[in-house]
Chain A
Amino acid sequence: DAGITQSPRHKVTETGTPVTLRCHQTENHRYMYWYRQDPGHGLRLIHYSYGVKDTDKGEVSDGYSVSRSKTEDFLLTLESATSSQTSVYFCAIQGQENYGYTFGSGTRLTVV
C-alpha cells in the first residue's frame, strides 16, 4: 500500500543471528502492528504500538522485541533467530476507526 512500506522484502539468515525488520508509514497513524503468517494459523500478532515508545506484546511475542522511536517507524527484532521464526512478517497500521488495517507487502524471512 502507498502509505506503508516494509524492508527487506526477502531475507535469509543463519540461526543465532539477530535480525531487524523495518516498517515505515507516511500516514502519521498512532497504531502499528507486527504479525507473522504461517500455514494453518492465519496471521498472529507479535507486538503492537500505540504511540512513540509505547508498545505491548501480542500472542506470539517470545523471541521478538520492538522499538518505536518515531511515529513513522516500527522495528521488529529477532534477538537470536531460530528456524521456528521462518515465516512471512507483516506490518500494519490502523486507519480510520471503522475500517480494517492497511498492511505492508510483507517480509519473507528464512532462518537456516
Chain B
Amino acid sequence: AQTVTQSQPEMSVQEAETVTLSCTYDTSESDYYLFWYKQPPSRQMILVIRQEAYKQQNATENRFSVNFQKAAKSFSLKISDSQLGDAAMYFCAYRSGEYGNKLVFGAGTILRVKS
C-alpha cells in the first residue's frame, strides 16, 4: 500500500521569507499524481498544486512550487514571499494513476507565518 510521510509537524516562517515543506512517499507504481492541499482555520480543503509523475518539470503556481524528485520519492513544497494568509495546515497527498483511485494523505504540517 502507498504511504505518505510528512516529517515536519510544525514549521514557522517570517513574512516575506521562503519556506519549504517536506513530503516523501512510498510506491511501486510508475503512474501517479501528487498533490499539496492547504487547510486554513476555516477547515476548507484547497488544492494548492499538483504534479504528474510522468512530467519531469516541477509544477509552479504563482508563489508555490514543488521540487519533485521521483527517484528519491520526494515531493516538497516551496512557498516564496510568505504571506499571513499562507498560515494553515498543509497536506501532501498521493493518488495512483487510474481515475477514481483514492487519495492517500500525509499527517500534515502546520505552517505559522510571523509578522
Contact = CB atoms under 8 A, between A and B. Distances in A.
B91 A94 contact: no
Interface string A40-79: 1111110010100000001000000000000000000000
Interface residues of A, number: 27
Contacts of B35: 100
Nearest to B47: A100
Nearest to B99: A97
Contacts of A58: 102
Contacts of B37: 100
Contact residues on B (Cβ < 8 Å of other chain), bracket: 20 to 34
Contacts of A35: 105
Majority-rule SS of B interface residues: strand
Interface string B71-115: 000000000000000000001010100011011111110000000
B33 interface: yes
A23 B7 CA distance: 32
B41 to A, nearest CB: 12
Contacts of A103: 44-45
A109 to B, nearest CB: 13
B43 A105 contact: yes
Interface in A21-38: 30-31, 33, 35
B52 interface: yes
5 contacts: A43-B105, A44-B105, A100-B47, A100-B93, A100-B103
Given A42-B4, A43-B91, A97-B99, 4 more contacts: A33-B103, A42-B105, A94-B100, A100-B50
